[in-house]
Structure 1
Amino acid sequence: MSERVRCYDCHRPAAHCLCELITPIEHRTEILILQHPRERGHAFNTARIAEMALRNATVRVGHGAELGADDALAADLRGYGLLYPRPGALDLSQLAPVDRPEKLIVLDGTWHHARAMYRDIEPLQSLPHFTLPAGQVSGFRIRKQPKDYCLSTIEAIQSALACLEPDTQGLDTLLRPFEAMQTQHMAAMGTPTPRRRKPRPFKEKSPLPPELKDAYGSLVVTYAEMGPFREPGEPRLLLTFAALRPATGERMQRVIACPDQPEEMWAFLRLSQEERQQACSIEDLRAAWRAFRRPNDVMAAWSRSTLDVIGSHLPEQGPTLLLKAAYCNRRAERGCLEQIVVKENLLTADELERNQRELSRTDERLHNAAVMAALLHEIGLADPA
């Protein structure tokens, strides 16, 4: 079978080329689309249409871990805002003109990929966050969306630009090739039936690790911040370490002296000048950890990467426990820690925003992990013996 001829610009089959429907749009807001590699070759890649139509838009392709390891990326992202529906994100339609971002980042991928990219590209998490007006419904009829309000990339960009620069001419033409693409596909396939996932088979609730129920007093929740990736083979530097016994409130925290770190890194960690001046050596950290820990302690962390990082610097960590695995196996849910904290009503959106504003990044993340450990402890106590 011969391969169909494709347009080299829009990458659609030549018989369904969209180029004539794409109208160049001169706009002020600089748009950066961070695209997951699996979207680049997708038949319904709407970011490509946006890139062709918008004169001030660029696409950067890469896995989250790959982009997150790029030391130059943090500098490249300065001055940008991020379109991402995190609790506390500002509604673009409610901003005064002077408060509107001049540069905006949009993540392009499935919602699973977008969450993973947000998690893995840490510089994104410190950017101003923005969201679209509530009540919008996606017109993406040929690709299943998780929820009605989940928009395609091109729909999200069009909505954002309509909020930021409503006077810009031609924004209403941005979705024309998007609609034509869907019409073409529906005509070729007949009646459009959204792809539906098969229901998951019933699965018994996974029991929680016994430490969360019977040895909660020995649980030590930990969090560590690492420096950026360096040369291949060189370990990442440990910048901060914090540990908390949720049963008693006992706590230890240290900032590690790393004089070669750029000023932007310390600002990203939201550390005060006083905290930085009290930085200690790795040897001092190990001595403090030996004094803090007890023989029967179980070191808990949200993710495996945190435990691996800590283990490379604090070899005397003893038994370990993954809070993320315990939660996800029990609830059959997925998501980043902050999303789950909100979903479980452990903290309100206002509390999350206040913690991000008033606490250091290490304090904030340790607090989120600790409230999750407390939730799992309550679930364990409610389980029948």
Structure 2
Amino acid sequence: MMAEARPHCYRCDKPASMCLCGHLTPIPNEVGVHVLQHPRERRHPLGTARLLRLGLASVSIHGLQMEGRSAVCVPVSLPQGAALLYPSEDARDLASLTVEERPKHLVVIDGTWAQAHRIFRDNPWVSALPCYRLAPDVGSRYRIRIEPRLECLSTVESVVAALRCLHDDLQGTETLISAFDAMIDDQIAASKKSSTHFHGKRTSGRPTNHIPHALLASDARIVVAYTETAPPQRGDSGPPFRLSAVSLDGEVFDRMVQTKNAPDAYLSELMGLESQALDTAQPIHQVMAEFREFCEGSRCRLPRGGLAKKALLQRTPLVLVSWNVKTQRWLEERMGDATCISLKAVWANISRARVPALDKLVGTLGLATEYLPVTGRAGRRLSQAHAMTRHILDGANAA
């Protein structure tokens, strides 16, 4: 018997229980807003462009079409006098413009900071637009994911701040921010509910039956790991070129690995690697020795009433957690004394459903990710896997 689908609002494209329509009344903005939307943002559960579509009288959403793996896009027809909201090197501060200097149409890029950067860099029809920037006094209200820079606001926050600069007396912009807050609140509430009932009706028996016992052990030293590997050459991928990890108590490990399959310029930018990052790469045996030392760092515990000398001999079990099975197997081959677990496999057993990409799952669950001092995509993925690990453990404890 098929499960009944949840009621859905097709106007705001949210579940009916999280409908945002009641929060929004179109604002009569004189400056037209044109959103260039990255393909990955169209169905993102926390995308904010939908709020602009419902909350502004003059707005156009342009879904970008990209050519292959590059960020080159099919040009979009924009009106004369359009200006781009983007913090390029020569961008002017919107708040400093006179009434005569204000643009009549505002173009914004809807995507992550890295996606927006590539779209700006690789498309002359975008970068040729006059650029303006914001200088916000506070960071983003986006409590679910962390932006890399203070001026990196969500799309709706950026547009609201810009419209306030470009209109002398524009009423109603606070409703867009209220709807944005409501969307985030709903996701966080759904996450808390999911933490308590995350096993749902699809699983049978005790919730913890679907989680490896090693992960639930009270004395386990849990380390979340993430690896990045360049595409293989002649069928041999070799070791990953990066190994990053974080313990549940926040200790961080991050090393570059010497490998014949180092990423090319395209992959380096896709993964957010700094140009000199690979210069610090070390031989794999050295990286693994340091990684073992990192994992051993907190594996000694002091028994109640015991002596510190004896505690040094009492080692806690090591559990290495990764999102995908490929990393799990790679760690199993090199960390024989550890229990290696794939979070994706664990979540598949818990949910009894097809598991989406990690970033989409974290967004759907409304999980808050913590900042980690790991640059680029590795930092984001590691933070997301860390959040999923805590979510699973919190759900098991609540059950």
Taking structure 2 as the reference length, what is the TM-score of the superposition? 0.49
Residues in 2 aligned to 1:69 and 1:43: alpha-carbon distance in whole angstroms? 23
Residues in 2 aligned to 1:182 and 1:95: alpha-carbon distance in whole angstroms? 33
Residues in 1 aligned to 2:189 and 2:108: alpha-carbon distance in whole angstroms? 30
Residues in 1 aligned to 2:102 and 2:4: alpha-carbon distance in whole angstroms? 50
Task: Pick the aligned partner of 1:146 from 144, 148, 154.
Answer: 148
Residues in 2 aligned to 1:146 and 1:192: alpha-carbon distance in whole angstroms? 28
Which residue in the other structure is 2:179 paired with? 177
Contact 1:206 1:330 in 2 (8 A): no
Which residue in the other structure is 2:32 paired with? 30
Secondary structure in 1 matching 2:159: helix
Which residue in the other structure is 2:80 paired with? 78
CA 97–330 in structure 1, closer or farther in 2 if over 3 Å, else same? closer
Kindly indicate whether residue 250 of structure 2 is the aligned counterpart of residue 203 of structure 1: no
**% identity of equivalent residues:** 33
Residues in 2 aligned to 1:197 and 1:135: alpha-carbon distance in whole angstroms? 35
Which residue in the other structure is 2:159 paired with? 157
CA 182–324 in structure 1, closer or farther in 2 if over 3 Å, else same? closer
C-alpha displacement at 1:206, in angstroms? 8.6
Contact 2:36 2:110 in 1 (8 A): yes
Contact 1:65 1:120 in 2 (8 A): no
Over residues 275-296 of structure 1, what are the superposed CA-to-partner deviations in whole Å (9 max), with x where a residue is unaligned?
xxxxxxxxxxxxxxxxxxxxxx
Task: Pick the aligned partner of 2:44 from 42, 50, 69.
Answer: 42
Residues in 2 aligned to 1:206 and 1:82: alpha-carbon distance in whole angstroms? 41
Secondary structure in 2 matching 1:190: helix
Kindly indicate whether residue 276 of structure 2 is the aligned counterpart of residue 331 of structure 1: yes
C-alpha displacement at 1:85, in angstroms? 0.5
Q: In structure 1, list runs of 5 or more residues that go unmatched.
A: 210-301, 305-322, 334-385
Over residues 196-226 of structure 1, what are the superposed CA-to-partner deviations in whole Å (9 max), with x where a residue is unaligned?
995734015799x9xxxxxxxxxxxxxxxxx
Q: Which residue identity lines up with residue 86 of structure 1 in the other structure?
A: S
Residues 136-145 or 33-42, more deviating: 136-145
C-alpha displacement at 1:95, in angstroms? 0.7
Over residues 225-245 of structure 1, what are the superposed CA-to-partner deviations in whole Å (9 max), with x where a residue is unaligned?
xxxxxxxxxxxxxxxxxxxxx
C-alpha displacement at 1:146, in angstroms? 1.9
Which residue in the other structure is 2:60 paired with? 58
Alignment RMSD (CA, Å): 3.5
CA 83–206 in structure 1, closer or farther in 2 if over 3 Å, else same? farther
Q: Which residue identity lines up with residue 91 of structure 2 in the other structure?
A: A
Task: Pick the aligned partner of 2:129 from 127, 130, 136.
Answer: 127
Secondary structure in 2 matching 1:99: coil
Residues 126-135 or 11-20, more deviating: 126-135
Contact 2:35 2:109 in 1 (8 A): yes
CA 46–332 in structure 1, closer or farther in 2 if over 3 Å, else same? same
Contact 1:64 1:120 in 2 (8 A): no
Task: Pick the aligned partner of 1:95 from 94, 97, 101.
Answer: 97
Which residue in the other structure is 2:15 paired with? 13
Secondary structure in 1 matching 2:100: helix
Residues in 2 aligned to 1:141 and 1:64: alpha-carbon distance in whole angstroms? 30
CA 160–113 in structure 1, closer or farther in 2 if over 3 Å, else same? same
Residues in 2 aligned to 1:192 and 1:136: alpha-carbon distance in whole angstroms? 31
C-alpha displacement at 1:54, in angstroms? 0.4
Kindly indicate whether residue 169 of structure 2 is the aligned counterpart of residue 167 of structure 1: yes
Which residue in the other structure is 1:109 paired with? 111
Residues in 2 aligned to 1:84 and 1:24: alpha-carbon distance in whole angstroms? 25
Over residues 173-208 of structure 1, what are the superposed CA-to-partner deviations in whole Å (9 max), with x where a residue is unaligned?
221111111111112212999xx995734015799x
Residues in 2 aligned to 1:21 and 1:82: alpha-carbon distance in whole angstroms? 28
Task: Pick the aligned partner of 2:138 from 136, 139, 144.
Answer: 136
C-alpha displacement at 1:6, in angstroms? 1.1
C-alpha displacement at 1:155, in angstroms? 0.2
Listed as ranges, the matches of 1:298-337 within 5 Å are 331-332=276-277
Residues in 1 aligned to 2:42 and 2:166: alpha-carbon distance in whole angstroms? 27
C-alpha displacement at 1:7, in angstroms? 0.3
Secondary structure in 1 matching 2:60: strand
Q: In structure 2, list runs of 5 or more residues that go unmatched.
A: 196-223, 227-242, 245-253, 279-399
Residues in 2 aligned to 1:205 and 1:303: alpha-carbon distance in whole angstroms? 16
C-alpha displacement at 1:168, in angstroms? 1.2
Contact 1:63 1:117 in 2 (8 A): no
Between structures 1 and 2, the one with greater helix share: 1
Q: Which residue identity lines up with residue 202 of structure 1 in the other structure?
A: R
C-alpha displacement at 1:118, in angstroms? 1.3
C-alpha displacement at 1:64, in angstroms? 4.5
Contact 2:85 2:106 in 1 (8 A): yes
Q: Which residue identity lines up with residue 115 of structure 1 in the other structure?
A: H
CA 65–103 in structure 1, closer or farther in 2 if over 3 Å, else same? farther
Residues 27-36 or 165-174, more deviating: 165-174
C-alpha displacement at 1:119, in angstroms? 2.2
C-alpha displacement at 1:150, in angstroms? 1.5
Residues in 1 aligned to 2:193 and 2:147: alpha-carbon distance in whole angstroms? 18
Residues in 1 aligned to 2:274 and 2:111: alpha-carbon distance in whole angstroms? 25
Q: How many residues align?
A: 218
